[in-house]
Amino acid sequence: QERLRESGGGSVQAGGSLRLSCGVSTSAWNQDWNVAWFRQAPGNEREGVARTTTLGGWSKYADSVKGRFTISRDNPRDTVYLQMDSLTPEDTGTYYCAADPSVPDGHWFRDWAYKYWGQGTQVTVSS
């Protein structure tokens, strides 16, 4: 059974930083799975913000976070991180980790493309 678990959310003032962790308890680390971070603010659709793969694939970022967020992985720890710097109130939301062995090209930020999801962790940025 594939399992993902996020941690590291919290409250921070604008300009601050947080690092989210996603423990990926799956067979993903033996194959090249896509792992992505999504976020959802109240009243908004879920938005993909960063993507990588478990075996060292290239990373991709949404324009809204490019230059501020960094996705990385620690293979021995089966963990994918999202380092978030220069946070703004617009970054507030619930952040989800998602994984799938096969995401169609060009659809890395489509939530329907990911089969496995974590429970989410809340990030609140105050002005």
Q: Each residue of 84-103: pLDDT tens digit?
A: 999 999 999 999 999 999 99
Facing residues of 69 across strands? 84
Instruction: Tell me what the mean pLDDT of segment 36-53 comes to.
Output: 96
Residue pointed to by tokens 């959310």: 9
Facing residues of 25 across strands? 3
Instruction: Tell me what the mean pLDDT of segment 34-42 comes to.
Output: 96
Which tokens belong to 124?
């609140």
What's the pLDDT at 12? 98
What's the pLDDT at 10? 97
CA nearest to 99, candidates 52, 27, 35: 35
